[in-house]
Amino acid sequence: MRDLSARWLTPGDPQSTSAALTSQFRQIYGAEPSGLFFAPGRANLNGEHIDFHGGRCLPMALPHGTYVAAAPRFDGMLRLRTLDPELDTGVVEIPDAAALPAPVTAPSWTTYVSGVLWALVQAGNEYPELHLGEGFGADLLICSTLPIGGGLSSSASLECAAALAFVGIGSPLGAEHAGEGLTRALTDERRAVLAKVCIRAEVEAVGAGTGGLDQNTALRAEAGKLVSLDCRDFSLQRTDLTALLEDYCFLAVDTGQPHELVDGQFAARRAEAEAAAAVLGVERLRDALPESPSEHDVELVLETFDRSVAQGAEMGGRDADACRRRLRHALTEMLRSGQLHLLFTALASGIAGVDHTAEVVGRIMNEGHASMRDYAEVSFTLADQVVDTVLSAGALGARLIGGGFGGSVLVLAPRRQVEKITTAAARLSPRIRFLAAIPSAPARVV
């Protein structure tokens, strides 16, 4: 059998990554970094394209993510450099960085960082412990162990690592809790505030209409656990996956086809679903369903939609059939999230067995993929092929995750089948890479 080791993207060892980043920081900026920070990417078992409708998502943080080495400046300037060979254009200077980032003046990835600085400065008015001093700026060196645009939340991991860096080197909270003390000082409540800051940066500064799944996961996940995130208020529960992960594992198949959420397609899907919400007279689609929805509830909502459309409901010029498909995806995805939430609660209390859980999770993942393909219409040929191939090779479940139009497929596999599954998937494209999706710790000081 061909050696697949080169196809695995490993998260690397945090200590040696930090040491290498520190020495490069010295070379590039001629000074020591004051701190090193890390925020993970995420995989999501279910709950795609519903965070912005107040739905429930079932994510975990990955061991892979973004490292940031940082030192403060006092002239209001941000200097940024990424070590990603595809994005690196040398040190980018952004003067007056706390102002709302002006588009086009710097490479687009830098807006994820300058946007966070801007949003954090705003948040400092409400949370004095996060207040960044007058003229705060920073030198940052960035490297990522995630595929960029791979649907594993590389952008939110950059935002969250940058947020931690700014807090660590510039705020009263960072001054009070040096080094790893800051990781402990970042309570879930504080992390939720930072998640809001990063969401604001992504929505208002970057202009991507995303919904908060990624930032809450990067900042608030827990090692060994699956998160059940209610995006109505971002309250969450965490379930231990240790027992499940003895015989089964999750792996992400990066198709090598990158996506771009700032482009029109993601926004168009969201707008169509929102048009359906308007027809139903609800602010968020989650409000169209009862607290614990059933399939019957989904059918009732679809019937209501059909009746309103037949009576000539205003669709803002959008195609009613397309809006209905987005609606159907959102509603069934919410149903699946509800089922998984209950299933993991049952697993935690010992009511559901491990094999039963794995089987049902697999089935729900497959249904999720079909909905992403047929109703959200965000899948693409290679993702569909990966799903079919890994299922034929013995996976229990597989689905496209993230925003779609490129990105990764999450797979649930019996451990003993992993080699067979990856061998089969690797044949589909030379660009395919694998990542072990091990539920990992959230953003932290390294």
- Catalytic residues, which ones? 214
Amino acid in position 138: A
167 in Cβ contact with 130 (< 8 Å): yes
Burial of 289 (0-12, 13-18, 19+ CB in 10 A): buried
Closest by CA to 321, choosing from 335, 333, 310, 331, is: 310
Complex with ligand GLA: residue 229 or 386, whichever CB lies closer: 229
Least distance from C-beta 85 to ligand GLA, angstroms?
24
Least distance from C-beta 199 to ligand GLA, angstroms?
8
Complex with ligand GLA: residue 115 or 402, whichever CB lies closer: 402
What residues make contact with ligand GLA under the rule CB under 6 A? 48-49, 51-52, 153, 210-214, 261, 402-403
- Looking only at the bridges linking them, the beta strands covering 235-240 and 225-230 are antiparallel
In angstroms, what is the C-alpha Rg of the chain?
Answer: 22
Q: 101-130 burial, b for 16+ CB within 10 Å, e for fewer? A: beeeebeebbbbbbbbbbbbbbbbeebebb
Residue facing ligand GLA at closest CB distance = 210
- Looking only at the bridges linking them, the beta strands covering 56-57 and 397-400 are unpaired
Reported residue count of the chain is 446
The whole-angstrom separation of Cα 411 and Cα 149 is 18
Phi, psi of 324 (to 5 degrees): -65, -40
Q: What is the DSSP string of 136-194?
A: -EEEEEEEESSPTTSSS-HHHHHHHHHHHHHHHHHSHHHHHS-TTHHHHH--HHHHHHH
Least distance from C-beta 42 to ligand GLA, angstroms?
8
Residues 6+ away with beta carbon under 8 Å from 352: 343, 346, 360
Least distance from C-beta 218 to ligand GLA, angstroms?
11
Least distance from C-beta 56 to ligand GLA, angstroms?
12
Copy the structure tokens of residue 146. 């995630």
Least distance from C-beta 407 to ligand GLA, angstroms?
9
Closest by CA to 406, choosing from 267, 253, 271, is: 253
